[in-house]
Amino acid sequence: MALKVAIVGRPNVGKSTLFNRLVGKRLALVDDRPGVTRDRRYADGNIGDMDLTLIDTAGYEDVTDESLESRMREQTEAAIDDAELILFMMDAREGVTSLDRIFADRLRKVAKPVIMLANKSESRESGGGIGEAYALGFGEPVAISAEHGEGMADLYQAIVGASADIFIEEIDEPDKPIRIAVIGRPNAGKSTLVNRLLGEDRLLTGPEAGITRDSISVDWEYEGRAIRFVDTAGMRRKARVQEKLEKLSVADTIRAITFAEVVILMMDKDHAFDIQDLQLADLVEREGRALIYVASKWDLEEEPQSRMAELKRLAEDKLPQLKGTPFVVLSAHSGRGVERLMPAVIKAYETWSVKVKTKDLNTWLSMATQRHPPPAVDGKRIKPKYIAQTKARPPTFVLMASRAESMPEQYKRYLVNSIRESFDLPGTPIRLIVKSSGDNPYAEGGSKSGPERYKGDAKTAPRRVIKKAEKAEMLSNLPGKALEQKKTRKHQPKVVSGVKASSSKKAGSSIAVQKGARGGARQVSRSGRIRTGQKHAPKK
């Protein structure tokens, strides 16, 4: 079991920055403005060889009314009660403030070890603030810089010394939990639903829209199964998202959908399946996650039966790719209908993880193609031959067929809907990949063709003409011929002269023949000039 450590302090002193550094990931949202963190967040981290369970908290405000700041303070006090060691952080640049003194008085009443941290101590201006931290009464402050990673060795020594007397119980690691993300538009009741399932006010709630900013994960157990809820920030339409902080919250929500296994889409009963709800459902389907529709605030509905039928009809019409998705109506505030949610979640998770036997799939393929044969494209009919499931979560099938690239999309949708109905897979995303079975795998470029081998020159290639001089040089390189040819070799000029019998009949001329010239022999006169032709008639 890891040591449970809470990071506390007034707003904007760098608690979330230190939390991210010790966790090793950018889990908590960080911004220059104060009050970004509102809920308390748990995550596993380490420093040196020590395993830690870190708790990031909201900035402490000395407010006791019914405001949002007061509810944030209650979350911080709950983290202090749950932790075994407390890291009390102050800003070394600004020094000790009145709010630091009020919070220090609160921590002195807690019978737990407290380590004083002077953050932002990398600059020269921080020296005075570090000296003022002694007045808070928690011993020597540890000067660190959470943003730059300075002072981590001193922090490690302080944690080791403060936790020497803390008994850490070793417990068995639980099974891998089912990750469930709760998404929806702002003020749809997501945090209220999670609190109702947990049976405690674990997450910050209220009438204000947009309270949740971070994606907060909470572990729970349902009928012996490990569950991990991820409460996300409300997602508005993209055109309305302008602030940098809200953009970070939306990106955090999308990341939570990516890593979830089951997604609960919370919708207001009066505005269910609005454009934003449809876009969120389509995003979940494209990510391949199991989906549950939840209509909240159902205790205020006057005609529940007719409204329920209308919402189911809207789901079938606007989201046909998610046909059969479970639909649950409830009231998170009063608890009405909440008991029907978790059975639907477990069933959707099991459907999402299903594996179908290859024999059953091919029996289904034969019946499906007989009931509705594939269309003919360009006068040639497509022939499905074989199907198998390659993976689950979501169920993915590969169909081998002739002329696979010509299979129309409407026929693929028919096959997917038939799989969904035949094997009882309502609502879960199904992937169907069609591959061609007519290609020869051993042909060139096929999957089993292998590297190309050299087969020699082609028979139709032109024969290479070897000249005499080249042939003689080749012969001279043969063993035993070099010495014999060296003895009989004589110097021969490049131009070889000889008298042709046909040319000797011409009066007063003898012709030398120059061999090796391009275009054949050329005539050379006795003076050595090359005769290229006569421009004028010879004189008589």
**What is the Cα–Cα distance from 354 to 391, expressed in whole angstroms?**
9
pLDDT at residue 135, as a whole number: 86
Asked whether 202 and 55 are in contact (CB, 8 A), the reply is no
At a CB cut-off of 8 Å and minimum separation 6, what does 53 contact? 2, 3, 4, 5, 42, 43, 44, 45
Query: Which stretch of 190-204, 441-455, 467-481 has the lowest confidence by average pLDDT?
Result: 441-455
pLDDT of 229 strictly over 80: yes
pLDDT confidence of residue 68:
78
What share of the chain in percent tops pLDDT 70? 77
Q: What is the mean pLDDT of residues 364-371?
A: 93
User: Which contiguous run of DSSP H or E holds residue 367?
Assistant: helix 358-371
Give the class (CATH, top level) of 178-353.
alpha beta
| CA neighbor of 87 nearest in space, from 119, 61, 109, 62 | 119
Report whether pLDDT(499) > 70. Answer: no
Least confident of 34-38, 338-342, 374-378: 34-38
CA distances from 105 to 11, 79, 135, 137, 248 (A): 17, 17, 12, 10, 35
- At 79-135, the pLDDT tens digits run 999 899 999 999 988 889 999 999 999 999 888 999 999 998 887 767 677 888 888
The pair of structure tokens assigned to 460 is 């139709």
CATH of domain 3-28+39-167: 3.40.50.300
Break the chain into its structural domains and give their ranges.
3-28+39-167, 178-353, 358-436
Place of tokens 């405690």: 200
Band (pLDDT 50/70/90 cuts) for residue 480 is: low
What residues form DSSP beta bridges with 331?
336
Strand order in the sheet with 114-119: 41-47, 50-56, 3-9, 85-91, 114-119, 142-143
User: What pLDDT is recorded for position 156?
Assistant: 92
**CB under 8 Å to 73, separation ≥6 — which residues?**
58, 60, 61, 62, 63, 64
pLDDT one-digit tens code per residue, 311-348 = 999 998 999 888 889 999 999 888 889 999 999 999 99
Q: What is the pLDDT of residue 517?
A: 45
Q: How confident is the model at residue 508 (pLDDT cuts 50, 70, 90)?
A: very low
Q: Which one is predicted more confidently, 292 or 379?
A: 292
The dihedral region occupied by 424, where left means phi > 0, alpha psi between -120 and 50, and beta the remainder, is left
Q: Confidence band (pLDDT; 50, 70, 90) for 446? A: low
* Cβ pair 262, 429 in contact under 8 A: no
| pLDDT score, position 515 | 47
Name every residue whose Cβ is closer than 8 Å to that of residue 369 and which is 6 or more positions away in sequence. Answer: 384
pLDDT of residue 366: 92
358-436 is classed CATH 3.40.50.300: no
Write the pLDDT tens digit of every residue in 401-436.
888 888 899 999 999 999 999 999 988 999 999 988
Dist. CA 304–CA 483, nearest whole Å: 113
DSSP lists the bridge partners of residue 267 as 295
Smallest Cα–Cα separation from 354: which of 403, 393, 386, 384? 393
Alpha-carbon span 160 to 376, nearest angstrom = 74
Chain centre distance of CA 496:
81
CB 89 within 8 A of CB 8: yes
3-state secondary structure at position 165: coil
Catalogue the E-assigned strands of 77-190.
85-91, 114-119, 142-143, 178-184
| Four-point Cα dihedral 359, 361, 366, 372, nearest 10 | 170
Give binding residues as ranges.
Answer: 9-16, 56-60, 119-122, 184-191, 231-235, 296-299
Binding-site residues for GTP: 9-16, 56-60, 119-122, 184-191, 231-235, 296-299
Contact yes or no for 126/143 (Cβ under 8 A):
yes
User: What per-residue confidence (pLDDT) applies to 495?
Assistant: 44
| Residue the block writes with tokens 């010495």 | 483
Q: Which of 53-62, 138-147, 204-213, 303-312 has the lowest mean pLDDT?
A: 204-213
Write the single-letter amino acid at 248.
L
In CATH terms, are 3-28+39-167 and 178-353 the same topology?
yes
* 498 phi and psi angles, rounded to 5 deg: -165, 155
Q: Which neighbouring-strand residues pair with 9? A: 89
Residues 437-447 have a mean pLDDT of: 54
Find, among 250, 253, 331, 333, the residue nearest to 296 by Cα: 331
Q: Cα–Cα distances in Å, from 72 out to 27, 54, 211?
A: 19, 18, 10
pLDDT of residue 540: 45
Mean pLDDT, rounded, for 512-518: 46
Give me the count of residues in the chain: 540
Average pLDDT value over all residues in the chain: 80
pLDDT of the residue at 271: 86
